[in-house]
Amino acid sequence: MAEMVITQGLTRYFGSFRAVDNLSLSIDEGDVFGFIGPNGAGKTTTLRMLATILKPSHGVAKVAGMNVATRPAQVRRVIGYMPDVFGVYEDMLVYEYLNFFAAAYAITGTARDTAVDSALNLTGLIEKRNASCRSLSRGMTQRLSLARVLLHDPKLLLLDEPASGLDPRARIEFKELVLALKALGKTIIISSHILSELAEVCNSIAIVERSKLVYCGPVDGAMGQVSAQGRVFNLLLREDGTEGLGLADAREFVRGLPFVDAVREGDRPGQISIRFVPGFDEAFRVNSELVTRGYKVEAFAEQAVRLEDAFLQLTKGIVQ
């Protein structure tokens, strides 16, 4: 599949501060790409470079094969950039607002009406056509902002933290909208500081932390990389008061095993969570050693890797 975005060694300084450090990404046509990282990681700066608003200090970024630094006008024609803070002209009606921007994109005549109607339809705002922009909820305002960047039928959408500040219902609707746009063949980059927000809609993600890329690849790959670093098992013991066979004793015993990486209290009473490095066979050894010593093992099961854990793990030691 063709690449829609490629960056190589993309770097941006503000004074002596490196806000984006040597970022190399590859995003295929048709991808819904999650760009994830805590606040200050450099997401907005990266998106602004792709949107040709900021110039890279070093490195290259290409959109649809065109260098953003040398062909900004052509790049702008194929992208729709929705910034993290968006203002709309509140005194306008919804269709007036879109009409205004369609004119700014030099879309004229009946093509302009078609572009406005199609953007309204796509974003589910057709009934709000004659509403004043001021009367819209945050979710609707955001849809309007998205409708605006759809007017010129861009191939690539750059959406900066689109789900922040939305209520749960608006978030679900937003995800549906993203999937509808994907079905139209658009490539979509969505940034967020919350991983779970993107997991369901993205097929590929990049995790950035302190200006640097920590992971880039499929969502499943992020989880696989984490389980390769060790597996977490939850052990549930039945305590019957027998001296030396309590939970605290079990914890001490397990902690003493050479292949055990970390032991902590589990989420439930009577439960211990154990991390093994690297693998699997050891889990069965823990189980059999405990049973041999007389512990009553009620349950011993691997904990599925959750995306949030993957994120924490991949950025371990870097997050403050």
Ligand X SMILES: Nc1ncnc2c1ncn2[C@@H]1O[C@H](COP(=O)(O)OP(=O)(O)O)[C@@H](O)[C@H]1O
Distance, in Å, from the CA atom of 209 to the CA atom of 130, rounded to the nearest integer, reads 43
CB of 10 to ligand X, least distance (A): 12
14 binds, among Mg ion, ligand X, none (CB under 5 to 8 A by kind): ligand X
Between 42 and 266, name the residue whose CB sits nearer to ligand X: 42
| Binding to Mg ion in span 38-57, by CB under 5 A | 43-44
Nearest to 76 by CA among 22, 141, 152, 3: 152
Alpha helices in 270-306 (DSSP H): 281-292
d(CA 75, CA 70): 9
Residue of the chain from 3, 6, 24, 40 that contacts ligand X (CB under 6 A):
40
Site size toward ligand X (CB under 6 A) is 10
Q: Phi first, then psi: what are they for 250, rounded to 5°?
A: -60, -40
Whichever of 42 and 154 has its CB closer to ligand X, that residue is 42
Report how far residue 230's alpha carbon sits from residue 277's, in angstroms, rounded to the nearest whole number. Answer: 4
Q: Which does 41 bind (CB under 5 to 8 A by kind): Mg ion, ligand X, none?
A: ligand X
Report the residue from 4, 11, 34, 37 that binds ligand X according to the rule CB under 6 A: 37
Q: How far is CA 250 from CA 245, 267, 284, in A?
A: 7, 16, 15
Binding ligand X by CB under 6 A: which of 25, 31, 43, 50?
43
Alpha helix (H) residue ranges in 200-280: 219-228, 247-255
- Whichever of 35 and 300 has its CB closer to ligand X, that residue is 35
Q: Which is nearer to ligand X, 50 or 188 (CB)?
A: 50
What x-and-dash track marks residues 244-263 binding ligand X by CB under 6 A?
--------------------
The enclosing H or E element of 61 equals strand 58-63
Partner that binds at residue 16, options Mg ion, ligand X, none, CB closer than 5 to 8 Å by kind = none
Output the six-digit token pair for 23. 């970022």
Return residues touching ligand X (CB under 6 A). Answer: 14, 19, 37, 39-45
